[in-house]
Structure 1
Amino acid sequence: MISSWTWPDTLIEVGVIMAVMAITWQLARVLSRRLVRMALVNQQRHLPLPGLSNTRTRRLLGLDHPRQAQRTKTLGSMVSSVAGFLIVFIGTMMILSTLGFPMGPLLTSAGIGGVAIGFGAQTLIKDFLSGLFLIAEDQYGVGDIVDLGEVSGTVEEVGLRATKVRDANGQVWYVRNGEIVRVGNVSQGWSNAVVDIPVGYQADPDRVIEIITGVVTGIAEEDQWKETLLETPTVLGVESLSGTSMTFRVTARCVANQQWGVQREIRERSKVALDKAGIPGPAVPFGGSGGLT
């Protein structure tokens, strides 16, 4: 076979193929990262909230967080790796063909081996493909609080094969990406703080709404909470009635994962303001307990 080579034409042809492979690989890496970056920027441009500038929205929602840069790097790396594999495979086949190797039997053997490996690694392939789409679609990232069905908690690691989640008890769960059929993400975009405030049934509803409105307006005007609240909290009014109490509901749109602090602040200040105004709390049945929820 070697004697059939035409020297030095064969080596020159092989060298040209390898040079084209190297140049194409470098171009593919640059283009893949630019395309991924452009896609992410285009996606983020459609996320501004009413009443907020696009710059402040991006900052409040965490769109300028290093996670976005890491996501771009990860996706670009994966796309360039796939492109690199295809370039190397096609280039290798061209070099072998140039050297005179019979390609028919080689491709047939590779096809049969690929099918065998595919059948034996279906679960692994499913996990990797699911992980690729999870990262590409940014369904969740490290630090997000998610509900994955049987497991809920904080995401500590996102891989192509599995996701690492730590629940409220501190237990770490490793969930295969191929087994995730639904995702509830508390941390994506923004969160909604919901506070129910019970008062005595005999209280004047208009007076209670006025007091609570003053409380939430004051919170929204403080510098400490301006960077947390995306809008002034809303007092929806009477949510429910019972024989001994009325419950008023307050909602507040805030930065992701900050709803618990907002809820505690609204409860505490509302309790102080209602007591100061002489608004009675709900009557407590014998042996029971009452309070803000």
Structure 2
Amino acid sequence: MLLLVTPSPPPTTPSVLPDIDKVTSQVAVTCQNDPVCSTIAGIFNNAAWAPLAAMLVVVVLILVLAFALRNVAHRVITRVVNRAATGGSITSRFRKGAATDSIDALLHERRKQRAETMGSVLKHIASIVILGTAVLTVLDRLTIPIAPLLTSVGILGVAIGFGAQELVKDFIAGMFMLLEDQYGVGDVIDAGPAVGTVEAVTLRVTRLRDVDGRVWYVRNGTITRVGNESQGWSRAFMDVPVAYDADVVSVKVLLEHVAEEIWADPELRESKIVEPPQVFGVEQLSDSSLVFRISAKTLPSAQAEVARELRLRVKTALDTAGIPMVATA
């Protein structure tokens, strides 16, 4: 007996490719409801392939417009940055000379660095916003649902926000620090956790080097107050304690003579001091002495050197005049 076996047909696997007809119909409906796309489709005499061609043209126009807006935004930001980087002389109220010229050059360089940093940040933000909006618009035109994508991005953003709160805090603090020009590279600052010279500033951390040579990395978000000893100008002063029986007028005249000598010194006047030193007279009355004060306005970070020169010259002048200094408690 002969048995005939009919082979069974191979199992069919579901197609992973999208249904072209379904996509075409969805694009046609979207194009019909879009005045720009429908107008372009009319140019092609509403052929069967016209909605797809018109939608492709619309996508290209959206991308071209996005890149054009991005370039315009970058140009505007660059112009604003260049204008912010060039400003008037901040030391115009001081005597013009080599010292104030050095201050203006330093402040101009800091202003330029701050403006360029903020310009770079703004350019990145503009690119993300404009190109991201363009991509979402293109996906919507192609009938790709963007609601699940936006929901996923929102959930991811919330998760990242909770997990990176300190990082976000550091970046925001760094941006405001740069905008307000609280300090810059080369400044001597007291940042709370550390005191030293600023070696590097980023949006996240500030790197300091203290007098012992130790390097400190301070997160911008942890800095609650900053004492800057190097911004604009500094002040060097010296308190001079003398005995109660000393002639007040003679001591004041002597200190004024020292101030005139320092101001007449070309090396100090042209590179360290920006205004004539002042003698304030009797600053304090202690139980054992009269305290006079002499002060000089200096370039940033030059106050220590000028103060040492003040001490040396005042001590020499007092010894020459036979006026002893009194130790204070």
The alignment status of 1:275 with 2:313, answered yes or no, reads no
For 1:59-208, what aligned pairs fall within 5 Å after superposition?
Answer: 59-208=102-251
* CA offsets 1:164-207 (integer angstroms, 9 cap, x no match): 11222222111111111111111111111111123344321111
**Which residue is 1:16 aligned to?**
61
Aligned-partner SS, 1:156: strand
Q: Which moved more, 1:271-280 or 1:47-56?
A: 47-56
- Structure 1 equivalent of residue 74 of structure 2: 29
Relative distance call for 1:22 and 1:274 in structure 2 (3 A) is: same
Task: Please report how far the alpha carbon of residue 154 of structure 1 lies from its aligned counterpart in structure 2 after TM superposition.
Answer: 1.2
Deviation at 1:40, TM superposition (A): 5.3
User: Structure 2 residue aligned with 1:38, among 83, 91, 99?
Assistant: 83
How large is the RMSD of aligned CA atoms in angstroms?
2.6
Deviation at 1:223, TM superposition (A): 2.1
Pick which of 28-37 and 155-164 moved more: 28-37
Q: Provide closer, same or farther for how the CA distance between residues 214 and 10 of structure 1 changes in structure 2, counting only shifts above 3 A.
A: same
Please give the alpha-carbon distance, in whole angstroms, between the structure 2 residues aligned to 1:48 and 1:193: 18
The amino acid across from 1:87 in the alignment is I
Deviation of 1:145 after TM superposition, in Å, equals 0.9
Q: Is the 8 A contact 1:238 1:248 kept in 2?
A: yes
Higher Rg of the two aligned structures: 2
Structure 1 position 230 matched with structure 2 position 287? no
Superposed displacement of residue 215, structure 1: 1.1
Which residue type is aligned with residue 55 of structure 2?
A: T
Aligned partners of 2:95, 2:124: CA distance in 1, in Å? 39
Q: TM-score, normalised by structure 1?
A: 0.87
Aligned amino acid, residue 273 of structure 2: L
Separation in 1 of the partners of 2:130 and 2:266?
55
Q: Provide closer, same or farther for how the CA distance between residues 281 and 180 of structure 1 changes in structure 2, counting only shifts above 3 A.
A: closer
Contact (CA 8 Å) 1:61, 1:255: kept in 2 or not?
A: no
CA offsets per residue over residues 101-157 of structure 1, 9 Å max, x none? Answer: 112222222222211221121111111111111111111111111111232111111
The amino acid of 2:253's aligned partner reads E
Alignment deviations for residues 220-273 of structure 1 (CA, whole Å, 9 cap, x no partner):
123212232221111111223456543211111111111111111111111222
CA distance, structure 1, for counterparts of residue 285 and residue 158 of structure 2: 65
The match for 2:41 is: none
Q: Which amino acid aligns with 1:108?
A: T
Show structure 2 runs of 5+ residues with no match: 1-17, 28-50
Find the aligned partners of 1:182 and 1:52 in 2 and give their Cα distance.
Answer: 32
Which stretch of the first structure deviates more once superposed, 250-259 or 111-120?
111-120
Change (3 A) 1:56 1:191: closer
Q: 1:52 to 1:281 in 2, by over 3 A?
A: closer
Q: Given that residues 195 and 210 in structure 2 are in contact (C-alpha distance below 8 angstroms), is that contact kept between their aligned partners in structure 1? A: yes
Deviates more, 1:224-233 or 1:49-58: 49-58
Q: Secondary structure at the match of 2:183?
A: coil
- Asked if the contact 1:153/1:167 (under 8 Å) is kept, the reply is yes
Query: Residue 208 and residue 189 in structure 1: after superposition, are their counterparts in 2 closer, same or farther (change >3 A)?
Result: same
Tell me the amino acid that sits aligned with residue 277 of structure 2: P
CA distance in 1, matches of 2:268, 2:71: 48
Aligned residue for 1:169, secondary structure, equals coil
The one-letter code matched in structure 2 to 1:28 is A
